[in-house]
């Protein structure tokens, strides 16, 4: 452990602190992002426990309630919460049509890491009394969020939730979305991208992608945010293996938390969902890549791409062995875990979610491997991640061959992952 690197990581979080929430990085991402917030809280936990709990509480202050837009989306935790205005990002608060909310947000969600992170925070807390109190306050909101996923995103009870927008996956530009996005109409309205003001175009998605994500954003507003209409008419409907794995793990952790905090009924409800998903996930196995992959619900087609999303299967607790796939991935690049393996024709080393390494994904993949008994592989990923931090610092993501830092600089979840993984004892 390098203390100067830890100090620098703490400085990144402090510099990105906007009072109760942490922006991912100045300029490019000036609001509170959903799964980023959970990772940030883990980082804050290593040096300021009250601030860590506040991160999650501030995020949940934007959760939709029964009073919002007819109540059908109660429990939604949006992918962006706009606590204040900023014009360096598109699409900002005025674009989503959610002006009636008390705290303005987007109309889509993101991978639900929260219950897992809350459990890890509780386990590592020095101030157990405050941590227990915070977890108790958060429990009903966490349950409401998980219920939102199962109720609105798997209305048939198939065991496999769907996403309705590529941004809900957190892996926005994954090649797995090329097929379903090709079926989405391009918007015909004018809009102004802001990402290219901050990052080189070679690392960002093309215009055709933006034309479609804007179309999908506008469709939610036109549906009045009615989840029944959205699920019926959505032009992008995908069983994303990343969200499925993260929700599965989080529901297992939420069941454990609920039991610990005295809510046996909530625990049993989550366990039943976990069981259902456990039985259904086999349909997503890719024999070609030896890992589960995503599926397009509209065409029924498996989205057979070797992305890091499916490597979260061990972390999810699914009874599958992904060690061959991880070994194959690590053998193909100098630095792992590549977001897309080079064996895919879509591999593009510096382009966002088509090649680069994200450190929080490495943490989750390694944690799952460790739990499945693949300790050597887990340790290899940890050592490799440490080398990336030491050589390139806290960029948004890293080049899988050169190890260069890419995307936004002084990035919160990268710094937070360092603090949690490299400086604190594992919970």
Ramachandran quadrant class, 170 (left: phi over 0; alpha: psi -120 to 50; beta: rest): left
C-alpha pair distances (Å), 375 with each of 179, 245, 277, 323, 423 = 36, 20, 26, 11, 19
Part of the chain binding ligand GLC (CB under 6 A), chosen from 33-41, 140-148, 198-206, 271-279: 33-41
Closer to ligand GLC by Cβ: residue 143 or 309: 309
Report the nearest approach of ligand GLC to the CB of residue 51 (Å): 19
Part of the chain binding ligand GLC (CB under 6 A), chosen from 11-19, 31-39, 46-54, 329-337: 31-39
Closer to ligand GLC by Cβ: residue 36 or 253: 36
CA distance 147 to 263: 15
Query: Which residues are registered as beta bridge partners of 286?
Result: 291
For residue 178, state whether it binds ligand GLC (rule: CB under 6 A).
no
Report the nearest approach of ligand GLC to the CB of residue 111 (Å): 8
For residue 95, state whether it binds ligand GLC (rule: CB under 6 A).
no
> 60 and 35 in contact (C-beta within 8 Å)?
no
Binding ligand GLC (rule: CB under 6 A), the pick from 21, 33, 60, 96 is 33
Part of the chain binding ligand GLC (CB under 6 A), chosen from 28-36, 101-109, 287-295, 378-386: 28-36
Report the nearest approach of ligand GLC to the CB of residue 169 (Å): 8
Query: Which residues are registered as beta bridge partners of 22?
Result: 17
Part of the chain binding ligand GLC (CB under 6 A), chosen from 27-35, 155-163, 290-298, 323-331: 27-35
Tell which positions 154-173 bind ligand GLC, by CB under 6 A.
170, 172
What token pair was written down for 385? 């991640």
Report the nearest approach of ligand GLC to the CB of residue 10 (Å): 19
Report the nearest approach of ligand GLC to the CB of residue 29 (Å): 5
CA distance 214 to 168: 13
Closer to ligand GLC by Cβ: residue 180 or 266: 180
Closer to ligand GLC by Cβ: residue 31 or 421: 31
Cβ-based burial of 289 (10 A; exposed 0-12, middle 13-18, buried ≥19): buried
Closer to ligand GLC by Cβ: residue 234 or 407: 407
For residue 175, state whether it binds ligand GLC (rule: CB under 6 A).
no
Question: Measuring CA to CA, which residue among 175, 43, 196 is closest to residue 120?
Answer: 43
Report the nearest approach of ligand GLC to the CB of residue 387 (Å): 23
CA distance 281 to 292: 8
What token pair was written down for 294? 């995503």
Closer to ligand GLC by Cβ: residue 33 or 389: 33
Report the nearest approach of ligand GLC to the CB of residue 427 (Å): 23
Tell which positions 329-358 bind ligand GLC, by CB under 6 A.
none
Binding ligand GLC (rule: CB under 6 A), the pick from 24, 91, 336, 350 is 24
CA distance 322 to 289: 9
Closer to ligand GLC by Cβ: residue 36 or 49: 36
383: number of Cβ within 10 Å = 10
286: number of Cβ within 10 Å = 18
For residue 36, state whether it binds ligand GLC (rule: CB under 6 A).
yes
Report the nearest approach of ligand GLC to the CB of residue 265 (Å): 33
* Parallel, antiparallel or unpaired: strands 294-296 and 238-239: antiparallel
Closer to ligand GLC by Cβ: residue 92 or 159: 92
What are the catalytic residues? 172, 396
271: number of Cβ within 10 Å = 17
What token pair was written down for 168? 């809900």
Within 264-358, residue ranges assigned H as helices are 264-280, 313-316, 323-332
Specify the DSSP class assigned to residue 286: E
CA distance 96 to 224: 11
For residue 35, state whether it binds ligand GLC (rule: CB under 6 A).
yes
Where do contacts with ligand GLC occur on this chain (CB under 6 A)? 24, 29, 33, 35-36, 170, 172
């Amino acid at each position: 452990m390098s203390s100067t690197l830890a100090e620098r990581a703490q400085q990144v979080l402090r510099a990105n602190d906007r009072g109760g929430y942490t922006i991912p990085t100045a300029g490019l991402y000036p609001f509170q992002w959903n799964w980023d917030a959970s990772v940030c809280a883990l980082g804050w936990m290593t040096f300021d426990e009250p601030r860590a709990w506040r991160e999650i509480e501030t995020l949940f202050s934007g959760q939709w309630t029964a009073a919002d837009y007819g109540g059908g989306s109660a429990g939604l935790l949006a992918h962006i919460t706009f606590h204040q205005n900023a014009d360096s990002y598109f699409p900002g608060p005025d674009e989503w049509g959610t002006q009636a909310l008390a705290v303005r947000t987007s109309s889509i969600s993101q991978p639900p890491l929260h219950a897992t992170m809350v459990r890890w925070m509780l386990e590592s807390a020095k101030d157990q009394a405050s941590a227990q109190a915070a977890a108790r306050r958060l429990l009903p909101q966490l349950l409401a969020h998980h219920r939102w996923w199962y109720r609105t995103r798997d209305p048939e009870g198939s065991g496999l939730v769907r996403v309705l927008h590529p941004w809900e996956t957190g892996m926005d530009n994954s090649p797995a979305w090329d097929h379903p996005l090709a079926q989405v109409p391009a918007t015909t309205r004018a809009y102004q991208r802001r990402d290219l003001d901050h990052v080189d175009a070679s690392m960002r998605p093309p215009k055709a992608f933006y034309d479609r994500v804007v179309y999908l954003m506008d469709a939610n507003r036109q549906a009045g945010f009615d989840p029944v209409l959205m699920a019926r008419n959505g032009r992008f409907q995908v069983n994303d293996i990343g969200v499925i794995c993260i929700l599965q793990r989080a529901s297992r952790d939420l069941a454990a938390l609920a039991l610990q905090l005295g809510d046996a009924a909530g625990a049993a409800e989550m366990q039943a969902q976990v069981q259902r998903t456990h039985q259904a996930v086999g349909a997503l196995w890719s024999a070609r890549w030896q890992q589960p992959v995503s599926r397009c619900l509209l065409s029924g087609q498996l989205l057979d791409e070797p992305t890091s999303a499916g490597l979260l299967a061990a972390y999810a607790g699914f009874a599958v062995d992904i060690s061959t796939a991880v070994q194959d991935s690590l053998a193909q690049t100098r630095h792992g875990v590549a977001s897309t393996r080079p064996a895919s024709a879509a591999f593009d080393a510096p382009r966002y979610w088509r090649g680069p390494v994200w450190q929080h994904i490495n943490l989750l993949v390694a944690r799952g491997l460790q739990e499945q008994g693949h300790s050597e592989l887990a340790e290899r990923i940890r050592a490799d991640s440490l080398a990336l931090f030491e050589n390139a610092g806290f960029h948004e993501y890293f080049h899988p061959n050169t190890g260069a830092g890419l995307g936004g600089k002084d990035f919160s979840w990268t710094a937070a992952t360092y603090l949690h993984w490299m400086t604190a004892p594992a919970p």
